[in-house]
Amino acid sequence: MDSIVVTGNGPLKGQIPIAGAKNACLTLMPATLLSEEPLTLTNAPRLSDIKTMSTLLQSLGAEVTQMQGGKVLALSSHALDNHVADYDIVRKMRASILVLGPMLARDGHAVVSLPGGCAIGARPVDLHLKALEAMGAELDLREGYVHAKAPGGLRGGTFEFPIVSVGATENALMAATLAKGTTVLKNAAREPEIVDLAHCLRRMGAQIEGEGTSTITIQGVDRLGGATHPVVPDRIELGTYMLAPAICGGEVECLGGRIDLVQAFCERLDAAGVSVEETEHGLKVSRQNGRVRAVDVITEPFPGFPTDLQAQMMALMCTAEGTSVLEERIFENRFMHAPELMRMGARIDVQGGTATVTGVEHLKGAPVMATDLRASVSLILAGLAAEGETVVNRVYHLDRGYESVEEKLGNVGAKIERISGQ
């Protein structure tokens, strides 16, 4: 099993290109199931999760071709010959549930295994199912699989999500594009990935209004066509690399970065004393004068502070001046990185969904264990600011969400290398 070794090496300087968004691409890929015509995605990230989704789509009979080194995905579902998403594939990644809505909408039946993914909380799929039931789907859960059918096709309906759910909004949005009549999704997620999906579906011929707000209205159409669509930049990768110069000093320009994708995050950085400025090519982040200030963080659905940047922000707060309180309101069990940071000398007290972090002047390098995707990179960030050598073990999580971490950080002056496992 691979490890990543990080040695504190002082301030960073240079440019880091931001890849297409993993969470957007994993949503866009199943959209191919809605049409018999080709869908081409540009600016795709090169990640293991993308390979897993490709394998899942291919198991259903779709064609997936990687071009330009994996940055362009050519997809076609003109000849689906299987409507069972098998456990052996689906268990590897929660986004696999997103094939349910498109298959059901197009062909009136689907069987999908309940998904897996990072162990950061229950994250049930009941909202996906309830939204599809509001469109007339008949669902039965048996032996770990969702058996779904809509013999006469899905019908337009109104569904209000009791809590905001990105994945359920995406599944319902895709299904509604081919439902008969009008579908209204209330208390819908507003994330940029939702907006990106709506833009792609509209290019395919869907009739959608209100994406980016809490109410999305979809007028069903008889069929969707093909399209070419660029994947939106990854706001979580963007925020992660913005934290690199914040945590160990220097100045880094994140190429392709946009303020609108990380507005709430940027507000917290500003309060901490980190400079963020827009440039012609992206966002420039710098920290020149001593330690950052401690700031409090509450994770919330977009446009609030992203839960997927909480672990990385905690790493920054470990060396901040003062005490910060980080409150996790999206997922339970998402402070599993805290004990690993404490191995490096961090002072963290976790009580339920709240972590209190008292900053120290210096972290110390240590062997640590990655527990999930975002925890992995938070430990790497901490290693950048630590004295001595930090060895991050079990980094297979990392490869699900970040491409070429060692190369991107190494190019701006970090001392980082991957050690291949036996």
Give catalytic residue positions: 118
Q: Is 399 annotated as a binding residue?
A: no
Pair of tokens at residue 22: 């993993």
Q: Is 308 annotated as a binding residue?
A: yes
Q: Is 23 annotated as a binding residue?
A: yes
Q: Is 123 annotated as a binding residue?
A: yes
Q: Is 203 annotated as a binding residue?
A: no
Q: Is 120 annotated as a binding residue?
A: no
Q: Which helix (H) or strand (E) holds 377?
A: helix 373-385
Compute the distance between CA of residue 377 and CA of residue 395 in angstroms, rounded to an integer: 9
Compute the distance between CA of residue 391 and CA of residue 415 in angstroms, rounded to an integer: 12
Q: Given CA atoms 308, 310, 311, 315 in this order, what sign does their dihedral have?
A: positive
- φ, ψ at 67 (rounded to 5°): -130, 165
The alpha-helical segments, DSSP class H, found in 91-218 are 100-107, 126-133, 166-176, 192-203
- Contact residues for 93 (Cβ-Cβ < 8 A; gap 6+): 26, 49, 52, 53, 115, 116, 117, 400
Contact 193, 231 (CB under 8 A): no
Q: Is 330 annotated as a binding residue?
A: yes
Q: Is 94 annotated as a binding residue?
A: yes
Contact 234, 45 (CB under 8 A): yes
Q: Is 43 annotated as a binding residue?
A: no
Q: Is 233 annotated as a binding residue?
A: no
Q: Which residues are annotated as a binding site for UDP-N-acetyl-alpha-D-glucosamine?
A: 94, 123-127, 308, 330
Binding residue positions: 22-23, 94, 123-127, 308, 330
Q: Which residues are annotated as a binding site for phosphoenolpyruvate?
A: 22-23
